[in-house]
């Protein structure tokens, strides 16, 4: 594989190619993939959905949906423990 820019050979070794591409575009592969996913497959959907739908799409593309899931689990666990504590105190 070769990497050219403006007709000039920048890299001809496969093992160095990924590093050179990162250097040129300033993004890791995962970041590049995330940036490209919206235009490729989600753009029309993104334009048509409401703002909460847009948030869901962006969370899925960027991988931040895991934080929402963690937050929900922590919230639910906290509620559960509060109820147990209330019951043990005789409040519930």
The average pLDDT across 2-12 equals 76
The predicted pLDDT at position 92 comes to 64
pTM: 0.40
Greater model confidence, 47 or 77: 77
d(CA 67, CA 53): 17
Q: Are 10 and 20 in contact (CB under 8 A)?
A: yes
Count of alpha carbons within 13 angstroms of residue 35, beta-carbon side: 8
**In the predicted model, is pLDDT for residue 48 greater than 80?**
no
Tally Cβ neighbours within 10 Å of residue 34: 16
Tally Cβ neighbours within 10 Å of residue 11: 19
Give the CA-trace dihedral at 9, 12, 17, 20, to 10 degrees.
-30
């Amino acid at each position: 594989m070769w990497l050219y820019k403006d007709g000039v050979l920048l890299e001809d070794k496969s093992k160095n190619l990924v590093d050179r591409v990162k250097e040129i575009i300033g993004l890791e592969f995962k970041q590049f993939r995330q940036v490209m996913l919206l235009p490729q497959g989600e753009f029309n959907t993104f334009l048509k959905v409401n703002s909460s739908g847009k948030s869901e799409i962006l969370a899925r593309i960027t991988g931040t949906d895991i934080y929402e899931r963690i937050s929900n689990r922590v919230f639910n666990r906290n509620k559960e423990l509060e109820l147990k504590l209330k019951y043990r105190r005789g409040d519930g």
